[in-house]
Amino acid sequence: MLPLRKDKRFHQGYFQPRNPEKYLGRDAIVYRSGLELKFFRFLDTSPNVIKWNSEQVKIAYFDSLKKKNRTYYVDNLVFIKEGDHIKRYLIEVKPSKQTKPPKESNRKKKSSLLFEQVAWRNNCDKWDSAIKFAKKHGMEFKIITEKELKS
């Protein structure tokens, strides 16, 4: 688990589950955004979620921009009962804006566009590795956004 570094731009803190027996791990559960908090509440209270954890699955990936190997801590590993089966998912929680390539506009600063392009490339590197890792281990990788959390 990565430590919590407070950033006033984001809703962050420690999550206290109502159903701690469902949580796989001993470390404090850190949410790094309001979206993560909402998703953690779903995981904690949904009867179909059997077990879950936060930032405990590490995946090696190659950072194509910096040309070096790095480690990706996937947001969640979730075991969900679907009918008579239990499926395992690796879940990344992101705002939908961050799940699409950045677009140029006359109103956007060049530095903002460059930052978004770097973040997008880095996310793609991580997600490509997560998809391969999940497939190799009999799981499915999914990205959850505010759109999925509304329904």
Confidence of residue 135 (pLDDT cuts 50, 70, 90): very high
Q: Where are the domains of the chain?
A: 13-150
Calculate mean pLDDT across residues 99-117: 90
Confidence of residue 3 (pLDDT cuts 50, 70, 90): low
pTM above 0.85, yes or no: yes
Give pLDDT tens digits for 75-98. Answer: 999 999 999 999 999 999 999 999
pLDDT of 2 = 56
pLDDT value at 62 more than 90? yes
pLDDT value at 4 more than 70? no
Reduced 3-state DSSP string for the chain: CCCCCCCCCCCCEEECCCCHHHECCCCCEEECCHHHHHHHHHHHHCCCEEEEEEEEEEEEEEECCCCEEEEEEEEEEEEEEECCEEEEEEEEECCHHHHCCCCCCCCCCHHHHHHHHHHHHHHHHHHHHHHHHHHHCCCEEEEECHHHHHC
CATH of 13-150, one of 3.40.710.10, 3.10.450.50, 3.90.79.10, 3.40.1350.10: 3.40.1350.10
